[in-house]
Amino acid sequence: MTHRIISGLLITLALACRGQPQATSSQAKTPQPPAQSTITVSDSLNALFLKLPIVQGSLGERPSDFTGDRTVLQAISSFGDSAVARLVDCLDRTTPTRVTYQGRPIPLGLLCYVVLDYTAYYEAYDERPQHDPNRYAPWPGNVDMSATPEQLRTAKRAWQDVVKRKVYNLT
């Protein structure tokens, strides 16, 4: 019975969100959590991604500084390579979430980056020559928690290249 109710809620949510334009910062409204949110082993990756905007929590200076319910984040991460591709695709999304940084809601793309950071990593310096003075230069696929939409778009392009070449590692 509970499974049918959750499935019905997810379908309703998906239909309600279909075709809606993404909010800009001037129109951003924080989504409200559902009355009941449970994660089951049978949740699909699609269903878990629908739950991301309603995850509640706050971020510190690094992705690992997330405070809140990590259930959805960990469930997405458990999908491994499938999750990586979806998370990279999500990096430029501006939909507001219920996760905050310095008291303000973060965009969905930044939350996807946080989950990506839990799921995979890429060592850019491994592909640079050992004596290259830029070997340890910052890689544009890494962003901080105050990343701008442009930085997230740049990170998405950098991660798309890494995924295409299959040179990342799962955590």
Tens of pLDDT, residue by residue over 58-105, are 999 988 899 999 999 999 999 999 999 999 999 999 999 999 999 999
pTM of the complete model: 0.73
Low-confidence spans in the chain with pLDDT less than 50: 1-28, 30, 33-36, 41
- According to the model, what pLDDT value does residue 135 have? 62
pLDDT of res. 124: 78
pLDDT of residue 24: 44
Name the residue type at position 112: C
pLDDT of residue 129: 61
Q: How far apart (Å, rounded) are the C-alpha atoms in residues 140 and 143? A: 7
Gap between the Cα atoms of 153 and 142, Å rounded: 11
Residue partners of 30: CB distance under 8 A and separation at least 6: 96, 97, 98, 105
| pLDDT at residue number 110 | 97
28/47 Cα distance (integer angstroms) = 23
Which pLDDT score is estimated for 68?
94
pLDDT of residue 22: 45
Choose among 98, 117, 116, 94: nearest CA to 107: 94
